[in-house]
Chains A and B, each alone.
Chain A
Amino acid sequence: MLLRATLLRLATMSVTLVGAAVVVFFVIRVVPGNPIAMMLPPGATEDDIARLTAHYGLDKSIIEQFGIWLGGVFRGDFGTSISLRQPVMPLVLGRLPATLELAIFALVIAVVIGGALALTGVRYRATRTETAIDVANGVGLSIPDFLWALILIVLFGVLMPVFHISGRISPSLDLPFVTQFYVFESILRLRFDLWWDLLKHMFMPALALAIPLAAIISQLLKQSLKETMHLDYVTLSRTKGYGENHVIISEALPNAVLPTLTLIGVQFTFLIGGTVIIERLFSYEGLGNMAIDAVINRDLPLIQGIVIVFALLFTVINLVVDMTYALLNPRLRHA
């Protein structure tokens, strides 16, 4: 049953990706802005514009351009970036690990903070501690991530300059990396000096992304836990004499966590989307930062490549979340 559902999801994924490809291709050509006009300085003539337009194949009809592009995609060729003058896919895949590392780190922070707040809130329910946690959740949710970024920059970048404000790694450090997964690789190579430097660069953008998500996780998990705490089997545990901490963590949490897991999966895709602005603010060399440059430069092939990779990422995450949920929830597994 699970296999059938997975195959169905894979088919849906393919349709989604093709749909995303079609939409992005046509939409970015309807959006105002001519990359050729932006490339040429004062003094260019109509002939110059025509020459460069033909050079980039933008003189063909949109349908022809789409056909050429789609043909290339099937051969694994996503075209050449207009602004960077390099093949699109190596550029995009080169930046993807940075964004993934940032998003995963942010997710870990969000889960740790959100989980801790929820458990504390339930442990000390109906006290000032719970009220304080509710207020903190409210603040975390009501301030958007980009504003958190600015607050963190002032706090930990300027007033107490503990973390780095921009970039992914200090320019003075050697980069013995083979892959673009710097954090992963620095641990494998036991280069903790690099790892520490990476962490100091990644902490603020990750925390900015994590705070709103932590608040959401905290709220939902706390609510689920509170509901579970009233169930008979939990009451039974209490009557057996188990302590409150044991009851919450060992008895209530495994059941209460399921809706939160689904939420984390869905929110992770939003979190990846959020990296676009956050990477820009922290000059973090990920895919989001590259996406903004591509849009500013009206770099059509690069925008298309980035969108396709983002779409693929979102669908894969959704698939993984669904499968994980099915595996964890026996009722769904046998449905």
Chain B
Amino acid sequence: MKQVSRRTVLKGTAAAMAISAFAGPALAQGIEELVIAYNVNLPSWDPTVGPSAVNPTIQGIYQSVFDQFILQQPDLSPAPGLLTEWGWNDDKTKVMMKVREGVTWHDGSPFTAEDVAWSLTRAADEKTGNPIQFIWSTLGNIKAEGNMVTADVTRFEPTIFKWMYFLTGYVLPKAYYEKVGADGFEAAPIGTGPYMVDKFERNAFVRLKANPNYWGGKPEFESVTIKFVTDSASRVAEIESGNAHVTLEMPYEEYDRLKGGNGIMGTAAPISDIGMIFLNDIDVMLDPNVRKAAAMSIDKKLIIDRLLSGYGVPIDTLQTPEYIAYDSSIKVPYDPEKAKKLLGASGYSPENPVKFKIQTTRGFKPKDYEIIQAIAGLWRKIGIEAEIEVYEIAKHYELRAADQLAPAAFYNWGNSVGDPTTSTGFAMFGPSPHSVWDGQDLIDMIGPLWGEADEDKRIAGWKDVDRYIAENALVIPLLQYVQPILHIEGVKVTPHASGSLLPHLMTRAK
């Protein structure tokens, strides 16, 4: 039998390392075609209808091809896009929008105010199946004249312009869409965005080519291939092997292992997603001592450090620092001793714990189940015995819509528009199908804010609501997520706080 010598093993290892080094991502300098290993599939090309229109993880692909009415910058703030000016009249009964001139669609035809008016009208039409129709229908009688679009306010919605850079807020080509129909558009979509669709294989990849006429300037990479690699281990392997130049959403341990070595760099920035625990005002959650004790006995920093390798920002309200209504003075201190006293006042102790169920997903967000396990451990020390129930995210949606969540339920809430209505508002306003807290006091506080026309008053009102929620522990905010992105050192990636990975924000590293 042939013996394998130490020399042979060393030779083999050296050969493998040489091959690896040759094919590895160090060959970044001359990238002709940028390859991104993306974490989701793209089911449909129409960004205004169907389930994919409200899937936040897909918006980055849409924004590469289509422009939104208003541009959202990486820090979530708005900027002129296809609309250069926008606003209400004095009594807020009309909206006016000025449309950018000199823009062309990917087929070379001119973009006009008609396209904006048609897109808004279509979005508001029930029959098109826009999932946000209830927002767009607050505008009516939409008209285009010259480069101006006007509309009547049928119901005042203070966030209407924010939705113009949020879900389904895209401008589609009126003439082209009417000519080719929905199927034709699906087969050959065009927009005004920085990239044009070159080739699309469903479930596999989309190849984009730079729009030379893009009003914001031609993007740096002439060609971009977005491969749909839904498994995180495969995405890591894609960048490690040099098959992809950029990838995102991998376990933090893998991120730490790979960044800074073998020509791979890392970017980890906070995004607009938060982890929180819904409290349902049933059973023991009607007792404020239990709620407050549960909130102040969670060491959020410890959980982030131990379970998320330090990647996360502890939060005490449903606003993150990037949101417009963030109030840094709202704090819920970590104080297990006080929590014990509060429980004691209600007759509970570690020997006689208060018992309730907490629901969580497992694997939907990084370490979601482990976070809840850790929290249950911290609670056990002060006299809370939580029974953990694992469910699928679809079940969470169903239970929440029916107001049947357990007394506590972990969830991930995304709010890339950064407005308090789409964070605190829908999460905590009892009549909303997304809220399970039904207390009348909170309903009375939030109710008047929906239609508040004075912006300063509106934001101040939401800050008061957040303070009231924190003081009474009506929900337990935990952390703001950090999005890990790995890229080769030849590429500079600008992260977007919405969590969208945008190829046109990528450049060659100087």
Q: Are A85 and B50 in contact (CB under 8 A)?
A: yes
Known: A82-B50, A166-B243, A297-B43. 7 other contacts (CB 8 A): A32-B398, A42-B434, A43-B421, A158-B240, A165-B229, A166-B37, A171-B199
6 pairs, A vs B, C-beta closer than 8 Å = A33-B394, A34-B397, A38-B393, A40-B131, A85-B50, A175-B201
Complex contacts, B434 vs chain A, CB 8 Å:
42-44
> Given the complex of chains A and B, what is the CA–CA distance between A161 and B24 in angstroms?
9
Q: A42-B422, A165-B241 are in contact. Are A293 and B131 (CB under 8 A)?
A: no
Interface residues of A in 15-53 (CB under 8 A from B): 32-35, 37-49, 51-52
Residue of B nearest to A287 (CB): B203
Q: Are A95 and B203 in contact (CB under 8 A)?
A: yes
Complex contacts, B52 vs chain A, CB 8 Å:
83
The 8 closest A-B pairs by CB, nearest first: A33-B394, A42-B426, A37-B397, A32-B395, A285-B203, A285-B204, A161-B241, A34-B398
> Given the complex of chains A and B, what is the CA–CA distance between A19 and B253 in angstroms?
46
Q: Are A44 and B51 in contact (CB under 8 A)?
A: no
CB-contact partner of B427 in A39, A42, A171, under 8 A: A42
Complex contacts, B227 vs chain A, CB 8 Å:
166-167, 171, 283
B23 at interface, CB cutoff 8 A: yes
Residue of A nearest to B391 (CB): A32
Complex contacts, A38 vs chain B, CB 8 Å:
51, 393-394, 397
A interface footprint on B391-414 (CB within 8 Å = 1, 0 otherwise): 111110110110000000000010
Q: Are A280 and B19 in contact (CB under 8 A)?
A: no
Q: Are B204 and A283 in contact (CB under 8 A)?
A: yes
B interface footprint on A155-174 (CB within 8 Å = 1, 0 otherwise): 00111110011111101100
> Given the complex of chains A and B, what is the CA–CA distance between A168 and B391 in angstroms?
33
Q: Are A161 and B23 in contact (CB under 8 A)?
A: yes
Complex contacts, B413 vs chain A, CB 8 Å:
42
A290 at interface, CB cutoff 8 A: yes
- Shortest C-beta distance, B303 to chain A (Å), equals 25
> Given the complex of chains A and B, what is the CA–CA distance between A47 and B134 in angstroms?
9
CB-contact partner of B241 in A42, A157, A283, under 8 A: A157
Complex contacts, B233 vs chain A, CB 8 Å:
150, 153, 281
**Chain A contact residues, CB within 8 Å of chain B:** 32-35, 37-49, 51-52, 55, 82-86, 95, 128, 150, 153-154, 157-161, 164-169, 171-172, 175, 280-283, 285, 289-290, 292-293, 297-298
B242 at interface, CB cutoff 8 A: yes
Q: Are B394 and A37 in contact (CB under 8 A)?
A: yes
CB-contact partner of B54 in A39, A46, A85, A282, under 8 A: A39
CB-contact partner of B234 in A32, A85, A160, A281, under 8 A: A281
> Given the complex of chains A and B, what is the CA–CA distance between A175 and B205 in angstroms?
13
CB-contact partner of A283 in B49, B132, B234, under 8 A: B234
Residue of A nearest to B199 (CB): A171
- Shortest C-beta distance, A323 to chain B (Å), equals 34
Q: Are B228 and A283 in contact (CB under 8 A)?
A: yes
Complex contacts, B237 vs chain A, CB 8 Å:
153-154, 157-158, 165
Q: Are A165 and B243 in contact (CB under 8 A)?
A: yes
CB-contact partner of A298 in B54, B238, B394, under 8 A: B394
Residue of A nearest to B434 (CB): A42
Q: Are B43 and A45 in contact (CB under 8 A)?
A: no
- Shortest C-beta distance, B91 to chain A (Å), equals 25
Complex contacts, A167 vs chain B, CB 8 Å:
204-205, 227
**Chain B contact residues, CB within 8 Å of chain A:** 1, 16, 19-20, 23, 33, 37, 41, 43-44, 46, 49-52, 54, 126, 129, 131-135, 167, 186, 199, 201-205, 207, 225, 227-231, 233-234, 237-238, 240-243, 391-395, 397-398, 400-401, 413, 415, 421-422, 425-427, 432-434
Q: Are A39 and B199 in contact (CB under 8 A)?
A: no
Q: Are A55 and B129 in contact (CB under 8 A)?
A: yes
CB-contact partner of B49 in A32, A85, A165, A168, under 8 A: A85
Q: Are B391 and A43 in contact (CB under 8 A)?
A: no
> Given the complex of chains A and B, what is the CA–CA distance between A304 and B192 in angstroms?
38
- Shortest C-beta distance, A61 to chain B (Å), equals 18
Complex contacts, B422 vs chain A, CB 8 Å:
42-43
> Given the complex of chains A and B, what is the CA–CA distance between A106 and B422 in angstroms?
49
CB-contact partner of B44 in A85, A161, A280, under 8 A: A85
> Given the complex of chains A and B, what is the CA–CA distance between A316 and B201 in angstroms?
29
> Given the complex of chains A and B, what is the CA–CA distance between A285 and B243 in angstroms?
18
Complex contacts, B391 vs chain A, CB 8 Å:
32
- Shortest C-beta distance, B403 to chain A (Å), equals 11
Q: A32-B392, A160-B16 are in contact. Are A43 and B432 (CB under 8 A)?
A: yes
Complex contacts, A86 vs chain B, CB 8 Å:
186
- Shortest C-beta distance, A28 to chain B (Å), equals 11
> Given the complex of chains A and B, what is the CA–CA distance between A164 and B199 in angstroms?
20
Residue of B nearest to A277 (CB): B231
Q: Are B131 and A44 in contact (CB under 8 A)?
A: yes
- Shortest C-beta distance, B58 to chain A (Å), equals 11
Q: Are B238 and A166 in contact (CB under 8 A)?
A: yes
> Given the complex of chains A and B, what is the CA–CA distance between A293 and B52 in angstroms?
12
> Given the complex of chains A and B, what is the CA–CA distance between A84 and B50 in angstroms?
8
Q: Are B37 and A49 in contact (CB under 8 A)?
A: no
- Shortest C-beta distance, B82 to chain A (Å), equals 22
> Given the complex of chains A and B, what is the CA–CA distance between A38 and B361 in angstroms?
15
CB-contact partner of B51 in A82, A154, A157, A289, under 8 A: A82
Complex contacts, A34 vs chain B, CB 8 Å:
394, 397-398, 401
Q: Are B16 and A159 in contact (CB under 8 A)?
A: yes
Q: Are A128 and B1 in contact (CB under 8 A)?
A: yes
Q: Are A165 and B234 in contact (CB under 8 A)?
A: yes
CB-contact partner of A153 in B19, B51, B234, under 8 A: B234
Instruction: Find the residue from B16, B46, B207, B231 having the highest chain A CB count within 10 A.
Output: B231
Complex contacts, A41 vs chain B, CB 8 Å:
54, 131-132, 167
Complex contacts, A150 vs chain B, CB 8 Å:
233
Complex contacts, B392 vs chain A, CB 8 Å:
32-33
Residue of A nearest to B203 (CB): A285
- Shortest C-beta distance, B344 to chain A (Å), equals 37
- Shortest C-beta distance, B194 to chain A (Å), equals 19
Q: A33-B394, A48-B133, A283-B231 are in contact. Are A161 and B203 (CB under 8 A)?
A: no
> Given the complex of chains A and B, what is the CA–CA distance between A263 and B420 in angstroms?
62
CB-contact partner of A43 in B135, B229, B397, under 8 A: B135
Q: Are B207 and A43 in contact (CB under 8 A)?
A: no
Complex contacts, B23 vs chain A, CB 8 Å:
161
> Given the complex of chains A and B, what is the CA–CA distance between A86 and B231 in angstroms?
25
Complex contacts, B234 vs chain A, CB 8 Å:
153, 165-166, 281-283
- Shortest C-beta distance, A29 to chain B (Å), equals 12
Residue of B nearest to A84 (CB): B43
Q: Are B20 and A159 in contact (CB under 8 A)?
A: yes
